[in-house]
Structure 1
């Protein structure tokens, strides 16, 4: 298992925690915990070795499309495709905004 961590700039805050997806289903679990400040801490546990560049590219595309919230985003990846990963991340942030 590979553990990847990075910090991104955040431009908003969201009021609620969120959990979407399921671990070990060929899917991806995304857990969001709201925080203060202007940073989103991202922690990824993935079964895919040497995937740092893949995750960097995915988050570059996400950052270009949406405003990230402050807090912590934890991802448990069981081999999800980049499309599924992005879907789960966006679902978690939507749930945190609307719950």
Structure 2
């Protein structure tokens, strides 16, 4: 069994630097995401497991709508808010099992998400 990584202990300190991507790679990812997404804009995007937010601002710029970066690690969210702040991005506490629904304060699935 794999050992659980405790991002709040130390990983959050080096994660963004160790996972940094150059702008051309981010652009390639956005082009690929756009290729598989509806053409209408703006789109609301869920960045599930957003970590330090390396994709979140680019997703907001590419798709024009709000981006919800959902991340269970409080310290990873703190790093994301400090390093990758964007007016259309909100970093929220949540997990794949309990995705927050900002419109209602409930967790997904909900009627307005």
Q: Greater relative contact order: 1 or 2 (C-alpha under 8 angstroms, separation 6 or more)? A: 1
TM-score surpassing 0.5?
Answer: no
- TM (normalized to structure 2)? 0.22
Structure number having the greater helix percentage: 2
Computing the radius of gyration over CA atoms, which structure comes out larger, 1 or 2? Answer: 2
